Amino acid sequence: MINIKNLTKSYGNKTVVNNLSFDVPDGLVTGFVGPNGAGKTTTLRCLLSLIKPDRGTVSINGKNYEQLENPLKVVGTLIDAKAYHKSRSLYNHLKWVAASAGFTNKRVDEVIELTGLQSVRNKNVGTFSLGMAQRVNIAIAMMGQPTHLILDEPVNGLDPEGIAWVRQTCRNYAKKGRAVLISSHLLSELENTVDRAVVVGKGQKLAEGTLDQIMKDTGEISLEKAYFNLTKTAVEFHASFPSAEGSYE
Residue 94, class by beta-carbon neighbours within 10 Å (0-12 exposed, 13-18 middle, 19+ buried)? buried
No. of helices (H) and no. of strands (E), the chain: 9, 9
Amino acid of residue 82: K
What CATH number is associated with residue 35? 3.40.50.300
Residue 117, class by beta-carbon neighbours within 10 Å (0-12 exposed, 13-18 middle, 19+ buried)? buried
Q: Residue 109 falls within a domain, yes or no?
A: no
Q: Residue 100 falls within a domain, yes or no?
A: no
Contacts of 205 (CB under 8 A, 6+ apart): 20, 21, 22, 198, 199
Q: Residue 18 falls within a domain, yes or no?
A: yes
**Higher pLDDT pick, 80 / 20:** 20
- Prediction pTM value: 0.89
pLDDT in the model for residue 249: 44
Our count of domains for the chain comes to: 1
Phi and psi, residue 83, nearest 5°: -90, 70
- Domain interval for residue 51: 1-61+148-153+176-234
Paired strand residues for 63: 60
Q: Which range (74-88, 131-145, 152-166, 168-182) has the least confidence?
A: 74-88
Q: Residue 104 falls within a domain, yes or no?
A: no
pLDDT band at residue 247 under the 50/70/90 scheme? very low
Pairwise CA distance, residues 61 & 122, whole Å = 37
Q: Residue 117 falls within a domain, yes or no?
A: no
Q: Residue 40 falls within a domain, yes or no?
A: yes
CA-wise closest residue to 194 among 203, 184, 206:
184
240 by DSSP, 3-state: which? Answer: coil
Amino acid of residue 100: S
Q: How many other C-beta atoms are found inside a 10 Å radius of the C-beta of residue 116?
A: 14
pLDDT in the model for residue 158: 87
Q: Give me the long-range contacts of 236-239 (CB less than 8 A, separation at least 24).
A: 236/35, 236/36, 236/37
